[in-house]
Structure 1
């Protein structure tokens, strides 16, 4: 594609930053602890929910996650998987991370069209490094449904 700008930059630690971010999400989910789940979220994080709501700021988002985590019996087991990492600056990374709902055997559940069933999702996260620490600046979750796009390469 001639004339089209490439934004990717070499970043020695982008993959590590995203892997650590995903591990923090996993730990928070596994422990049903919103403090752990959100510990990497910036004060001015902007969050897009899977249903189109926009939540502006940690102080608004955190209570929502506290509510979700307070009912572990309603939450299916899930696993986070890093799908794609793109460093667009030394201190800015865009990552796609899947949250896969698991069955009783620990295997991902096939996507379903029924909105009342637990769903997996793919999220796009923007991580920004400040003073040596990576923070979530923005996230957007999208439910995984049958007929979704093919995986990025």
Structure 2
């Protein structure tokens, strides 16, 4: 039997962890402000993004159009934030972020879980791919 390699734990830099966490803090504030331009400023030109409803978007223009419509037309009264569960670095310039995103609308609660891939280019972290999944929330 072959030993299976670990791929999630490349040596990580504390500064990289902090920078990735800052991206998610910026996403939170952009959502609260309903600012799609700010929300999308860290997505790559060739991002591949799967929304919680299963819609898949290829490229920044597509995801920005989606977020613009969602944030201006459907975000009123929504309170949401990101709870990062784990950040791994399979390579020095690749981060995989596993998170939970609670969502509260009036008395209704739900949540998404996400797995996003970030890449580091010229010292900056960028969101390259994202997968979001809706989950049931126990009351």
TM-score (norm 2): 0.87
Question: Is 1:129–1:135's contact at 8 Å kept on the other side of the alignment?
Answer: yes
In structure 2, the residue corresponding to 1:120 is in which secondary structure?
strand
> Which blocks of at least 5 consecutive residues in structure 2 are unaligned?
none
Question: Is 2:116–2:131's contact at 8 Å kept on the other side of the alignment?
Answer: yes
Distance 1:73 1:123 in 2: 19
Distance 1:140 1:73, change over 3 A: closer
Distance 1:25 1:75 in 2: 17
In structure 2, the residue matched to 1:151 is: none
Which of 120, 123, 129 is matched with 1:132 structurally? 123
> Which blocks of at least 5 consecutive residues in structure 1 are unaligned?
110-116, 148-153
In structure 1, the residue corresponding to 2:54 is in which secondary structure?
coil
In structure 1, the residue matched to 2:5 is: 5
Distance 1:62 1:103 in 2: 23
Per-residue deviation at 1:103?
A: 6.3
TM-score (norm 1): 0.80
In structure 1, the residue corresponding to 2:69 is in which secondary structure?
helix
In structure 1, the residue matched to 2:22 is: 20
Q: Deviations over 1:18-71 (max 9, x none)?
A: 211111110111111001111100000000121222110001110110011113
Distance 1:119 1:146, change over 3 A: closer
Structure 1 segments of 4+ aligned residues over 2 angstroms from their partners: 71-75
Structural RMSD (CA): 2.2
Distance 2:50 2:113 in 1: 12
Is 1:120 matched with 2:111?
yes
Question: Is 2:77–2:105's contact at 8 Å kept on the other side of the alignment?
Answer: no
Answer 1 or 2: which has greater strand percent.
2
Per-residue deviation at 1:77?
A: 0.8
